[in-house]
Amino acid sequence: MKIVWSPLAVERVSEIVRYIAEDNPDAATNWAESIFTRVEQLGPFPDSGNIVPEMHREDIRQLVMGNYRIIYRIGTDQISVLTVRHHRQILPDQDLR
């Protein structure tokens, strides 16, 4: 299945990487590589994430990686990565468009 990153998801990953890099550039690089590797695993296993508790929808799911939630939508022929959020942040509705 094709994986498409939303501009918001790319922006969130970039923000997180910049924040981590302020203290540890190597950790920032490793974190980014881990995120992309984890998302690539969704291709053959799109249902492997949990349903997002706030949404109660089968097509909106999340992968949890450390303190971060990777929120994605399963479509008929693609997976759309919608956003990446720290697990303590509120998930705004507009992030799921």
What pLDDT score does 34 carry?
Answer: 96
For residue 94, tell me if it sits in a domain: no
State pLDDT tens for residues 3-57.
999 999 999 999 999 999 999 999 999 999 999 999 999 999 999 999 998 888 9
Strand ranges (E), 1-97? 2-5, 50-51, 60-65, 68-74, 78-86
What pLDDT score does 89 carry?
Answer: 82
For residue 96, tell me if it sits in a domain: no
For residue 93, tell me if it sits in a domain: no
- Domain hosting residue 13, numbered range: 2-88
What pLDDT score does 64 carry?
Answer: 95
Please, what is the end-to-end C-alpha distance for the chain in angstroms? 20
Q: Classify the C-alpha dihedral 73-74-75-80 as positive or negative.
A: positive
For the domain that residue 7 is a member of, what is the CATH number? 3.30.2310.20
88 confidence band (pLDDT: 50, 70, 90): confident
Mean pLDDT of 76-83: 95
Structural domain total, the chain? 1
